[in-house]
Each structure stands twice: as structure tokens, then as C-alpha cells.
Amino acid sequence: MMFRLVKLLLLVTATFSLMPTVKVMANTLVIGHRGASAFRPEHTLAAYELAIDLGADFVEPDLVSTRDGVLVARHENQLSGTTDVADRPEFADRFTTKIIDGDSVSGWFSEDFTLAELKTLRAVERIPGTRPDNTDFDGLFEIPTLEEIIALVNQKSAEVGRDIGIYPETKHPTFFAEEGTFFGGAEDGETINISLGQLLIDTLVAENFTNPNRVFIQSFEFANLIELQTVIMPNAGVDIPLVQLYGSTILPTASSFDRPYDIFFNAQNGADLAAIYGCVFTTAEGGGLDVNTGYGNLDNAATLQCMGDTYAEGVGPWKNSLLPRISIPPVDGNGDGNAQITSQLTGEVTSFVNDAHAAGLVVHPYTLRPEEAFLTLNADGTPQTLTDEVEQLVGIGVDGLFCDDPGTCRQAVDAIESASVPEPSMTFGLGVLPLLGWLRRRRNK
């Protein structure tokens, strides 16, 4: 009976998602990408608070660990791009070079600092050339912990009268758990050996923030999400929706953005890939998984169905994988004399959204940004605004959007939804989604 109910829910969802009628999603989520990072230095409490004030449903912290095992919000564990660490003479001797996801990276790293030391640093704007106004806030904000973000979200939920969620990403989990080493101090050269997934669940449980309607956990790697679903969350007695992120699906792989690093690492080290990845191994295009496996090998209906059946409730694709672009010479889209648009939509819409919906997965693409340098031309050559981009993505059926400017995304989504008749239960909302995952996993027990 349970199996038939699950299959019925999946079938109904697939039927709705493939209908050629109204494509507008009911309750399309607006996710504050690193906060309201178009207006404040990213991954600061100020950026998260502004995102909520502008209408975000969720705020997104990227999580890395300190030396003493505390999760903090940074886009990368390399700190010099988002903090003033390079200007701190007391930490000059911690400058080093590490291999992160196969890339050589030089700077200062979160795992080489205690929380107390990190709290002396201050955030700075990551892309000052693009967002010069944000530099007015350089030096004002600390690096927040996950506990501080949870406290802020609870406070703001009470203030605004709606439940705000948190959408954490585990950053470089293979590096932290298996490959990376400490630099300096008594542990110099020792393996970091920190499970970001375990730390994340431990923190959420300790802070009593495990409501599946208010948390999504995401990662660009596969193995850590599978471990969360099969080991870590069951041991903790919680069940939180998991979202598999996809980098570029263009093949062959040319950079770390094109491949899941955990698959590369495990293949390189002779791990039993079939045992780790299960049906992901058998459904990957190209015949299994190996060091050359890219996201493009996993961009198919069978792999998405596998993920939906076994561990994931959603997928987070790069928006270019849904609406392909071509490179063009720079174009001045807003008439300010500075040509910054360097791509144009082909007019193609890939099957990714329909394939994901058929597998019972929600789709939350990234990242929508307001600045001209991040926008594109429509297929007819006219400049696309951020509002146009929201309308286009909502129109092809996505269930949520990662936005650097949550206010514009919120206004656009609200205008679309108020003018449209949504398909029933199209996105599962945030209520049926956890139920579906629960039912699926009950079936598999």
C-alpha cells in the first residue's frame, strides 16, 4: 500500500510537470543567496537580515569549519577574498597554499583559525569592482556562526510574522573530511578529519532547528548527501530535505566546476564507487563513474530518478543548464556606455526541469544577479533584466530561485503568481515535499 501511494504521488507530480499549460509555480521560493549580497557583503548577519526584510523565504549560508570544529558562513574556506585577514600582521605567518578540489589555492584558510581568532576578522566585499557601494560596509561585520544565523532567523521570523528558513551548503566536504590538512600549530600537517554533514546536523539538533519545512541541505558533492540520508540523519532522528547541486553540465570537464569532486577523489583513490553511489553509478551516462565523470554525465532522467528515489528531494542546477547561452562580444545593455553583457540565450529550453519534476524533485536554480555583468541577451538580441529572468525561469517551471537581490525577485514572483492560476500541488510546497521524502524512505526500509 505504501509503495502504491508513493508511486501515485510521483505519477501525479510527473503528469502536472509535463503539462504544456500554465507553468507558473505556486509559492515559488525566493532564496537570499548568501543573504542580500547585492547590497551587503555576503555571508554576514546584515546581509541575511536585509534578505529577510526584502522578502526572502530562505537565507543561504555556505558553511566551512574552524580549527576547533565550529561551522561558520563563508563562500570559501580561503578567507582573503571576503575578510580583512591579509591586512592583519598577526596572521601573516599563516599564509599558505593548499589543493582544494584539485585546484591550487593560496591564502588563509578557516580550518587554520580558531573561532575566537576568526571573530577578530571583519568581512569585506568579495567583488568590489562590480559592487562598489558594498565597500562602504567593509570592516563592519563579523564572520557569523551557524548558531548566530539560526538565532537571527528565529528573531526575524517573529518580527515579520512568517517562518524563515535556512538553506545551508556544505563547502568542500571531501577536503574537510578526507584530504585537507591543517597548517601551523601543533596539528600542522595532520588531516582535518571533520565531517561537515555531521557538524551541521549536530548543530541543527542542538539549536532545535530541524523542522523539514524550514531547512534544505545542499551540496555540489554526492557522497556527503548520501551519507546524510543513510547514516547521519537517521542516527540523529531527523529527516531534512536534501538538494543535489549541479555545476556546469558541459562535457568534457575542463574545471572543478564541471565535475563532482568527491567522485573524482574516490575514483582516483580506488574506492568502491558502486557501493558508495548505488544507482547513481549505474545510471551515469558513459558507463559508470570514473575520474572523468562530470555533471554532464549525470544530467539525465535516469540519474535524477535515482536521486529522487534514494536520497534527494531537490536539485539546484546552474541556470545556464536550463536555458543555454552562447558567448558574444560585450554589449551595453543599459546604455551607460559600459558594455558588460557577454552572453545571449539560444532560445533552447533543456529537459532538466521536466526530468526533475518527473522524478519528484523540486528545482532551485542559481544564481540571479541584478548587475549588467551577470545578465544576458534574449534570443532575439534584446537585453534581459533581472525581472525578465525571473519571469522566464518561473515560466519554465522552476520551484525556487537563488537571488542576490531578493527584493526584485520577490516582487517579480509575487506579480507573476498574483496574475496566474497555478497548477495544483505543482511544487509540493514545503508541506507535501517532506511527506513525499518520508514516504519514499519508509518504502525503502
Exactly one of 43, 75, 172, 357 is catalytic; which is it? 75
d(CA 356, CA 193): 34
Return the sign of the alpha-carbon dihedral for residues 88, 93, 94, 95: positive
Residue 153 CB partners (closer than 8 Å, separation 6+): 48, 52, 59, 164, 165, 166, 209
Reply yes or no on whether 75 is catalytic.
Answer: yes
Which of 265, 286, 284, 261 is closest to 274 using CA atoms?
Answer: 284
List the beta bridge partners of residue 318.
Answer: 366
Residue 59 CB partners (closer than 8 Å, separation 6+): 31, 32, 35, 48, 51, 52, 149, 153, 164, 165, 166, 167
Cell (9 digits) for 172 = 568542500
Helix (H) or strand (E) holding 373: none
> Which of the 8 DSSP states describes residue 366?
B
List the Cα angle 361/367/370 in 5-degree steps: 140
Exactly one of 33, 43, 357, 364 is catalytic; which is it? 33
Catalytic site positions = 33, 75
